[in-house]
Structure 1
């Protein structure tokens, strides 16, 4: 989620509407400071988003102040072990990765999961070649922690992603830029549940 302070109220309202259909809402204000991130996180909580469903990007200070459910670290971010030592029991620590080597390093460091992408073409990264499904499949096979796929994902991609070994998906523009974020998130959730049911049976 990115935007100026005027947009935070709307962002929090959308988060409150979609949270019943997702496991986590990733809070990211890359060009803003800790104060803005803290304000957005608290706005979401005030509107009913459970703390355990919020994942804060990079800012360990905000994660500690709010006791959110997860902290998401960049691959070149703070050491996983050091961050985990500060977190309360039950708080998850994930790492964003772009290669098998980074995924393995995150696992060895004690990350609970990795966020891997971008798998498909996405206008969030114009001109950057997607890393593709083959690399996702390799990473999912060679690390034992969950691998969450990210980047350009539409509901139709979910069968391919789960078959490749992804444990879940992360979506930005497909939901946040949709005409109806709730309708969009429900479409993702229906497909994910259908595929997960098929794979387990």
Structure 2
């Protein structure tokens, strides 16, 4: 699957913090029913085998809903499960090295915080950029803050899709209007919700207003 900016509109990043009595794949299907346009599986605590088994289950869901399935950081798992893409941060493997490993057909996303990082990531083969954190977030309290102006400058500088991430929710997503982003990446705003499907529908509606040119 090729990277299309329409897939960036409501980009859901998984987190096990709010599972309760549900499984992760149950939560993922709820956000897919609500309109999530891309799913990233982010696992920091699982064993390799647990990560792989979860990846296979969520990949199947994404296939059913025809949305891209992205693996965070773990290139080996991404290739092994046949994910649509890999997402790496600035402290992970270099984007150019990831591109060599995954070839030209898999999607490559890269997290950036500056215009310089954005330009380099695009040059190194990134298909889209995740820019943040744009607001204060509990999931990454020590993350570098990216201002509205920097986010807008990144969008104006690169030719690949840009997704804003970090502390975004229903109450502040519209503050990103005018930046030029192609979508928002969300963690707690989706997965901490008591009704993930309805929350996703509302976030999708708001995201469409944000990206409307």
Aligned equivalent of 1:110: 125
Residue in 1 that maps onto 2:62: 49
Higher relative contact order (CA 8 A, sep 6+): 2
**Other-structure match for 1:130:** 145
Closer, same or farther in 2 for the Cα pair 1:151/1:104, shift >3 Å?
Answer: same
- Once the two structures are superposed, the pairs formed by residues 1-201 of structure 1 within 5 Å of their partners are 1-3=14-16, 10-20=23-33, 21-46=35-60, 48-50=61-63, 53-87=68-102, 90-126=105-141, 130-196=145-211, 198-199=212-213
Q: Which structure's residues are more often helix, by fraction?
A: 1
For residues 106 and 157 of structure 2, the distance between their equivalents in structure 1, rounded to whole angstroms, comes to 25
Cα RMSD between the aligned structures?
2.5
TM-score normalised per structure 1: 0.85
The question of whether the paired residues in 2 share the 8 Å contact of 1:52 and 1:68 is answered with no
The alignment covers a number of residue pairs equal to 196
Q: Which secondary structure state, in structure 2, belongs to the residue aligned with residue 76 of structure 1?
A: coil
Listed as ranges, the gaps of 5+ residues in structure 2 are 1-13
* Displacement of 1:148: 0.6
**Structure 1 110/13 Cα, relative in aligned 2: closer, same or farther at 3 Å?**
same
Unpaired runs of 5+ residues, structure 1, are: none
Closer/same/farther in 2, CA of residues 166 and 194 from structure 1, 3 Å limit: closer
1:9-38 Cα offsets, whole Å, 9 max, x none, are 611111112224122111011233322221
